[in-house]
Amino acid sequence: MTTITELSQLDPNGHYSYADYLSWSLNETIELIKGKISLMSPAPSLDHQRVSWQLNGLLFEYFRKKPCRAFAAPFDVRLYDRRKSVAANQDIYTVVQPDLCVIRDVEKLDPRGCLGAPDWIIEILSKGNSKKEIQTKFELYRESGVKEYWIVYPFEQAVHQFVLDEEQDQYRLLAMFAGEDTASPHMFPDCMVDLQEVFAE
């Protein structure tokens, strides 16, 4: 079997599983979205990295003595439709690398990352990936059962907070934070995220 080391060796219209993904040795960072290859954006902007660093620090301080686990990209999260509960590697067709994620059930963690939906995901938008984050991942995270999803807009210095309504199987916009607000996750109400600090230059 030929080792895959270049994207050009893969069929952009092909359908791949997590088992395939594990066999590749690519320089590029990619995600699999329902079996389709999705190239991640080039190196994130300075604003993206600054916001990620600030959020990572705040979450580290909050979660370090709690049973939950928080991770920053690159960190593989394997997702599947929670209504089907398919978990074998060959049946996983989606692997993403959220900017930040929090997992309460540590049984989902293994040496390769997280198998199943994190409880809270934060995606920090770059100018070139807003469509993917807002549309594709929004539906993907809903379908897989991510309970809380934050979309962070560094240039607008804003955060949109979505919470999964499991009865309706839909995200509802719980809050929009901006500027000097203090944001708080629905799942962890005592976790205070000072946006003035997050967006500070």
Report whether pLDDT(147) > 90. yes
| Inter-residue contact 31 to 61 (CB < 8 Å) | no
Domain count, the chain: 2
CA-to-CA separations, 88 to 43, 106, 107, in angstroms, rounded = 32, 18, 15
Instruction: Say if residue 18 is in the same domain as residue 108.
Output: no
Question: CA-to-CA distance for 100 and 44, rounded, in angstroms?
Answer: 14
Instruction: Say if residue 30 is in the same domain as residue 68.
Output: no
- The answer as to whether 84 is a domain residue is yes
Q: Which of 169, 186, 168, 188 is nearest to 177 (CA)?
A: 186
Domain of residue 56, CATH code? 3.90.1570.10
Please compute the mean of the pLDDT values over residues 43-64 and round it to a whole number.
90
- The answer as to whether 93 is a domain residue is yes
- The answer as to whether 118 is a domain residue is yes
Instruction: Say if residue 96 is in the same domain as residue 18.
Output: no
Instruction: Say if residue 74 is in the same domain as residue 31.
Output: no
Please compute the mean of the pLDDT values over residues 87-93 and round it to a whole number.
68
Tens of pLDDT along 159-170? 999 999 999 999
- The residues that bridge with 110 in the sheet, in sequence order, are 113
Instruction: Say if residue 24 is in the same domain as residue 118.
Output: no
pLDDT of residue 141: 96
Question: Which token pair is 106?
Answer: 């540590």
Domain that holds residue 69: 46-198
Question: CA-to-CA distance for 46 and 20, rounded, in angstroms?
Answer: 33
pLDDT of residue 45: 82
Instruction: Say if residue 29 is in the same domain as residue 104.
Output: no
pTM greater than 0.85: yes
Tally of CB atoms within 10 A around 62: 18
- The answer as to whether 13 is a domain residue is yes
> Which 8-state DSSP code applies to residue 17?
-
CA dihedral sign of residues 70, 71, 72, 77: negative
| Inter-residue contact 26 to 5 (CB < 8 Å) | yes
Return mean pLDDT, the chain: 90
Q: Which of 150, 74, 86 is nearest to 116 (CA)?
A: 86
Instruction: Say if residue 125 is in the same domain as residue 60.
Output: yes
Instruction: Say if residue 136 is in the same domain as residue 184.
Output: yes
Amino acid at 178: A
Phi and psi at residue 33, in whole multiples of 5°? -115, 100
Instruction: Say if residue 123 is in the same domain as residue 30.
Output: no
Instruction: Say if residue 65 is in the same domain as residue 164.
Output: yes
Instruction: Say if residue 22 is in the same domain as residue 59.
Output: no
Instruction: Say if residue 147 is in the same domain as residue 76.
Output: yes
- The answer as to whether 175 is a domain residue is yes
